[in-house]
Structure 1
Amino acid sequence: MIRLIRTDTNISLRRRLFSVLMLIVFIPLVLLGGISYVAIQEIYSNKIESGITNTLVNVKSGLESTLENMEYASLQLSMEGSVGQNFYDLLANPSNFQKYALQKEIQKNLNLVNFTNPYLGVILYYDDKGKVMFNNLEVREGFMKENGISTLLSKVNGVTFYGPRKTAYRYGDYDVFSLVRPVESPGALNESSTNYVYMETNVKQFEKLLSKQQYGMKVSHVLLDQAGQIVFTDLNKEFPKGKKLQQQQQLLKMGVSLKTDDYYLYKVTSEQGWSLIVTIHKGEFNKEFNNWLYKFFAVLLGGIAISITFATVIWKSVYGPLKKIGHDIGQVDPLQSNKPMSLTRIIEFDVLVKKMNQLRERIQFLFIEVENRERAKRQLEVEALLYQINPHFIHNTLNSIQFMARMNGQEDIDRMVSIFTRVLHYNLDKRGETVELKEELAALKDYIELQQIRYDYEFGVKFQMDEDIAASTIRIPKFILQPLVENALYHGIDTNQGVIEVKIAKDNNTMIIHITDNGRGMTAEEIERLLADENQKNRKTGLGIGLNYVRRMLEAHYENRYTFEITSTVGHGTLVTLRIPLSLEF
């Protein structure tokens, strides 16, 4: 007799289902939204600051490299280079013929220096009065004048760097970085004369170095000389040229970034003495994050709406049919031949309805059997059949499911049931304890394909076999390969991107089987526990055939003529090696 226990805390399915659906809808969205907002706000800010800082460092490195290359190129025009030596000889040599030859050589080499350094623009020699002596491009008069505002950037190794400043090119009106290097002159001819090398970058190099597009947002540059004075700025109103940053400069000395009321400032200082600051307006800095935030909330609201819609569909799909089934059950009289319960057009519930109809019919049948003593034995047999499942019944049921799947166009279900039927047929086959190797491999591939479908092909299996073994009719004990692969799948690899390799080779009269995985590996203690007793664990996973079964089958068929080894390194996978005699000749 079954006794029902009633409590005052019973909750209706309707209330539980509604509560669970609401929790499923709102808890993940709220948690995901809150965590995403906090995390992305932090990550986004750090990402922007890190990106700006890295880009600024790259800009500084590019400018340093350009100035260093200019310094190196200017050495060729000084006394240390061949061009500078020709220039010195020209000033010291009184011969007109040699002067003419040296002038042509200097002009040719000047053009050659420009050609080998494509980032350079104007290159020239001039004296202390500003007179141009040699040049590769036409130069405007007074090219060294600075309009009352210093553009001196830094002095390093006797070289003076300027810029950005207007180009010396007569027909150009763009900013460049320039270099001035003094050149020794022969004192015998003109003791008071001092000559200089001047070279500057071209317009493309300047635009490339201080390009704003590389930051991914609207920024401005401020360039400071060695004294901290602004020599170049994109924001002349906020950071006027020729002035010092004063308070901001002092604060920037304590770090690489500074937040003011309107701007974010990031600074890098070169070993050459100058500093480069990038400024970003707060509105520009926050604009991209705010755009993401609007999109996030739009997606969040859309997700809530979609979730509520699906929750409503689930509600109607679950509670509605259950309510209808409950009503129909209440109208059923097991002693009367009532009209069958109507279907709900939902497969799972229709199965339940059909089972209920069958159950009602069986109940009616059992009542009749109770009244008739002659049918008592038959009644017991029917009840016993309710608790038995034989292979024939399973195959028939699977064939019915497969037929229904084909009729409804469910190709994936049809394929999976077909594979499962083959695996089940192989497992339930009672014809002997040994099978041909190709049969074992076919069943193993079906099992693997079944597991790959289950895990959405998140792991792969590779087979490698000697041709003479593949073509042979050698027989092996049944179910010795499948448990090894199953062990690799459940105890070795993580299904995400895991790979299992099965290699079968012949060595004289011995067949060698290697099964490896690239999974997490095992310790020696874990291997011992796995071989000791894993039946209970394997009843919950796969087909439940463990490594103990493999070892017992090998002992029964080969006694001491086999080897079974497991080697594993934590974090580097596991290797199972099996060596057994060949049962048939090739």
Structure 2
Amino acid sequence: MKIDWSSLKTRLVATLLMSTIIPLLLLGVVSFLALQTIFHEKIESGIQNTLSQTRVSLENTLSNMEYVSLQLSQEGTVGQSLSILLSSQSIFEQLQLTTEIQKNMNLVNFTNPYLGVMLYFFPGEGKVMFQNREIRDGFSIKSLPLLSSVKGESFFGPHQTAYKYSSNTVFSLARPVNVPGIEQETIYVYIETNLLLFEKILNKHHFGMNASHILLNQSGKIAYSDDQVQFPSGADFSFIKNSDVNVAEEKGFYFFKEVSDQGWSIVVAIDKRDFEKEFNTWLLRYGGISLVCLALSIALALLVWRTVYRPIRSILREIRSLAGSKFDSKLNKTNVREFDSVLFEFDLMRTRIGELFAEIEQNERMKAQLEVEKLLHQINPHFIHNTLNTIQWIARMNGQDDIDRLVSIFTRVLHYNLGKEGSVVKLRDELEALKDYVALQRIRYDYQFDVRYDVVETLLDQTIPRFILQPIVENALYHGLGDEEGVIEVRIAAHGGYMNIEVKDNGAGMTEEEVSRLLSYESERKKSGLGIGLSYVLRIIKVHYADNGRFQVESRIGHGTTMTMNIPLTQRRGTLE
């Protein structure tokens, strides 16, 4: 769809949209860059700190087990008692030492509540001694997952506890006890963490998002993972362990690591979508706010457009009324001061234009009236009447009745045509004058034509412009009839609120060029007789009826000529039609 940039509406909407979009884009870009840095640094720093605390907690736990294991080895009191027990031959001493060792084991366990199972394990015999809890059948250190080995100590886990009546996950330590006279690494101190300590240390909720803990052993393989689907145990993660950075991005995950001095590493894997969830939430909120701002901008643009468009439409309506020559229409205000000022000035201009049109129309009407009066007064009526009366008196004295009659008719015709009784007469008076004129012409042409009248009697009292029928009949005599005897028909009837006057002859007819020339002003200079031509009739109709009067000439060679005039009725009665 093509946008019309020439439209005020389009430009207004585009301007308001740009005034909204540009600040939003600038603010969005600045906020995006700033928040992206803040979010990443904040989240990464928080995760790294939390992971560091987890590493420290786990290191402390393993270190505490290492400290306790020293007490249970040959370096500690309990370990020394165990060495004496294993080398003693006295049953009484053995019983005494056994009671003492068990008592000390319980004391150590009591003073270290974060520890769980403690025992001495004999791998060769698969025998367990001095356990503080009942151990499940088939227990063996060799089956435990090695986490790291430092200074002869082995850390295992996470793995299922050796406690027979639990399946919780724990960390454990195995330390060899060297007893004189007994082969090395035939006796081990085995210690586990408390059953609930593992869940406390590796708590997913510490990071505020879904996170997966991964423990890597010394070789970089996964010793433990709480998401076996994505990160199965035994998978090689040495590329993370040996990386120089603490944060890496691989396969849609962010990996945060902490390397322990004990040889193991702890890694937190966070899905990239979860990691950027908060940032994406901000983006969605910003996008929603932007859409709301754009919608408000469009609504405001349309509101402003309506505020501007309605006054413009009112002004356009006033201009169209002026184009339709409606100078007296009521001015409708817009209640907007600036537009009302324009409308007020326009109304003054329209009023002035109306006055000028009325003045011009009046001047033209007076001019036309003066031209008609000039034609009617070209001859001195008083001189003509006196001359004709003298001729008529001489004819009567000499017994010239035909001359007397001719002069009498001609006098009446001149009296009517040159009279000053008014410009509007009744139809009956116009017809009487026409009949006198026809009688005069019949004497002149030796009665070689006939005029027939068909007039509706109810129209005789209607008023029409004076001297309007004679020029039409005169034209039929001069231009319509030839040398042969002709007939002129005058029909006057009413129809549709108009008086229809038709003058028809059976003469030779005229071409279109002859009709046009007949209606022109120049043809009047070649006229003869008393008539002043059809242009006079056209001007009279224009002066009296403006556009409500019509005059039409139809002529065909060999078929005669018909002249039709339609003028409004002055009295509208049902009987007229």
Task: Give the TM interval when normalised to the shorter protein.
Answer: 0.3 to 0.5
Q: Which has the larger radius of gyration?
A: 2
TM-score (norm: length of structure 1): 0.47
TM-score (norm: length of structure 2): 0.47
